[in-house]
Structure 1
Amino acid sequence: MAQVDFSDFQKLDIRIGRVISAERVEGATKLLKLTVDFGQYRKQSIAGLGHIYDPEYFVGKQFAFVVNLK
């Protein structure tokens, strides 16, 4: 596994967000579309965990997200 320099790690914007909705992505067995509330704004995220968890598992829970990925 590749290691990341600390200077690169500092560039990540990691925030805690609460999942307010989750649904399966049509035509994909593993993908879930999450709507996440970060307080001042909301974002959508895709999680490849649909084959392990039901969408309802995520709703109302908090998770860490990297919010500045390209």
Structure 2
Amino acid sequence: MEIRTVAFESELIITLKNNQKVVITPFKTHELGNFKLGIDAPKHVSINRQEIYLKKQEQLKKEKGQTLTDS
């Protein structure tokens, strides 16, 4: 894992293998200790928090299991 320090409202740019870019911008909030991330990515790039990603993976496993047993 790489750890980068980025000032608020400055952009962190990640270049994908196909030269497309994902731009991440941190923003301060009024809540102490919290911040928001603005993420600009191509439509084919999925952006999820970890718990959402894990739920989607579990759902895919269930769907694959049903497809195998339904055949």
TM, length-normalised to structure 2: 0.29
TM, length-normalised to structure 1: 0.29
Higher relative contact order (CA 8 A, sep 6+): 1
